[in-house]
């Protein structure tokens, strides 16, 4: 009897349809049916992945971290229940859990006033739990406050000209007069803080947090101009603007800048950090094939999204990679350059986008059966 084919499923979520855990489950089910039909023994392992944005905590929990929940301040002040993940002395904090778009009541945007205060409370909860290494995954934010709320929750004093704390949100930073970081939680000095992000934007300017991502959070043209100027002023007060142009400073509405300039964080591409934390190298060692993917394989995928990171790591070890996705806009040449032999899209089975999203699970199983037929016959 032939040896079992060892397949590692390391895919991200299909946003709006399936979590990364659900993607892995459906792919595994389809692969097993296809392998059975081909008469090939199969050994399937699942390692759901994320790139620092939505789903990062869930991926860590699926890899064996403990899920911890805490009540924190949501982006507009109302309390929310947010989760972080903990294993040993390592904590994974996902800012979207506390300050993400999905935490906006009724989905109503608040581009000028949304705060990252709850993210700071999550960090503090991780410190209380004994974390010595802290991975801060940032993405999916509702905020453009430069991480000012987070810093305030951790003990910084951001004051206006009258000596009063500046109001929550990015717009109020235009009135910042002094930034006193001496009261920051002293435990932060002994913690390795890694900023995990899939974007490398600077804080301000045409490629900055407000200009690029503000409109996604409900900011109009005037709001973008106001926020960009407020963030530039904030940076000038906080560190003379020294780190405003650093890669990742503009991530998550400038939360990246707050972590870099205020907390001494180190920026790394999100997928690289998460693969390290999840133990991807060990899982890859036994694999004959890796299946990765996300909802849309497009130009953004090539800019540090999870499938590109998975494919790069697998190619370095000589393990072939195929991908599954909801829709595909990359050419065969682009996929090959990224280390992906072939991509299978739901749209090849169902052209209607709304039906494709609604039926993503069953369609994904059919794609996985097709992969098994192509690879194991």
Nearest to 141 by CA among 221, 198, 205, 79: 198
Residue 286: per-residue pLDDT = 87
Count of other CB atoms within 10 angstroms of residue 148: 32
pLDDT value at 199 more than 90? no
Non-local CB neighbours of 57 within 8 Å, separated by 6+ positions: 67, 83, 84, 85, 92, 93, 94, 97, 137
Distance from C-alpha of 192 to C-alpha of 136, rounded to nearest angstrom: 11
Contact by Cβ (8 Å): 39, 375: no
What's the sign of the alpha-carbon dihedral 239, 241, 247, 253? positive
**Domain topology for 56-271:** Glycerate kinase, domain 2 (3.90.1510)
Q: Provide the mean pLDDT of the chain.
A: 96
Nearest to 276 by CA among 341, 348, 202, 196: 196
Residue 312: per-residue pLDDT = 96
Task: Give the domain ranges of the chain.
Answer: 5-47+279-376, 56-271
pLDDT in tens, 275-328: 999 999 999 998 999 999 999 999 989 988 999 999 999 999 999 999 999 999
Residue 62: per-residue pLDDT = 93
Distance from C-alpha of 45 to C-alpha of 221, rounded to nearest angstrom: 47
pLDDT in tens, 44-93: 999 999 988 889 999 999 999 999 999 999 999 999 999 999 999 999 99
Mean pLDDT over residues 35-47, rounded?
93
Nearest to 84 by CA among 36, 134, 34, 139: 134
Residue 1: per-residue pLDDT = 47
Distance from C-alpha of 264 to C-alpha of 195, rounded to nearest angstrom: 10
Q: What is the pTM of this model?
A: 0.92
Non-local CB neighbours of 339 within 8 Å, separated by 6+ positions: 308, 311, 312, 314, 315, 321
Count of other CB atoms within 10 angstroms of residue 264: 13
Residue 3: per-residue pLDDT = 82
Contact by Cβ (8 Å): 211, 226: no
Look at the block and give the residue holding tokens 């900023």. 195
Contact by Cβ (8 Å): 218, 265: no
Count of other CB atoms within 10 angstroms of residue 190: 8
CATH number of 5-47+279-376: 3.40.50.10350
In 74-220, the DSSP E strands lie at: 79-87, 90-94, 133-137, 157-160, 176-180, 192-197
Rg (C-alpha) for the chain, rounded Å, is 21
Distances (CA, A) of 195 to 3, 25, 134: 41, 29, 9
Contact by Cβ (8 Å): 153, 122: no
Contact by Cβ (8 Å): 89, 131: yes
Residue 2: per-residue pLDDT = 65
DSSP assigned state of 1: -
pLDDT in tens, 288-299: 999 999 999 999
């Amino acid at each position: 009897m032939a040896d079992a084919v060892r397949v590692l499923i390391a895919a991200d979520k299909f946003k709006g349809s399936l979590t990364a855990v659900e993607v892995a489950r459906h792919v595994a089910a389809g692969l097993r049916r296809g392998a059975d039909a081909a008469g090939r023994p199969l050994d399937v392992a699942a390692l759901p992945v994320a790139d620092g944005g939505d789903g990062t905590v869930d991926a860590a929990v699926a890899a064996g971290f403990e899920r911890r929940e805490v009540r924190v301040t949501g982006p507009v002040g109302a309390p929310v229940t947010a989760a972080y993940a903990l294993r040993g002395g390592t904590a994974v904090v996902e800012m979207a859990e506390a300050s993400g778009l999905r935490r906006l009541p009724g989905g109503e945007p608040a581009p000028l006033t949304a705060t990252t205060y709850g993210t700071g409370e999550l960090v503090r909860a991780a410190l209380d739990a004994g974390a010595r290494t802290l991975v801060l995954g940032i993405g999916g934010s509702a905020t453009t406050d430069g991480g000012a709320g987070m810093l305030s929750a951790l003990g910084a004093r951001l004051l206006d000209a009258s000596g009063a704390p500046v109001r929550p949100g990015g717009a109020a930073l235009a009135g910042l007069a002094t930034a006193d970081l001496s009261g920051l939680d002293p435990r932060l000095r002994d913690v390795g803080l890694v900023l995990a992000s899939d974007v490398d934007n600077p804080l301000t300017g045409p490629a900055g947090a407000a200009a690029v991502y503000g409109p996604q959070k409900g900011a109009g043209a005037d709001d973008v101009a106001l926020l960009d100027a407020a963030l530039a002023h904030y940076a000038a007060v906080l560190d003379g603007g020294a780190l405003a142009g650093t890669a990742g400073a503009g991530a998550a509405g400038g939360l990246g800048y707050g972590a870099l300039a205020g907390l001494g964080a180190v920026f790394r591409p999100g997928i690289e950090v998460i693969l390290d934390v999840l133990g991807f190298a060990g899982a890859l060692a036994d694999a004959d094939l890796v299946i990765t993917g996300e909802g849309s394989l497009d130009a953004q995928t090539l800019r540090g999204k999870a499938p590109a990171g998975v494919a790069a790591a697998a190619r370095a070890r000589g393990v072939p990679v195929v991908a599954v996705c909801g829709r595909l806009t990359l050419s065969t040449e682009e996929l090959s350059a990224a280390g992906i032999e072939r991509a299978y899209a739901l749209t090849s089975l169902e052209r209607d986008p709304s039906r494709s999203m609604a039926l993503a699970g069953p369609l994904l199983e059919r794609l996985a059966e097709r992969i098994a037929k192509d690879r194991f016959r």
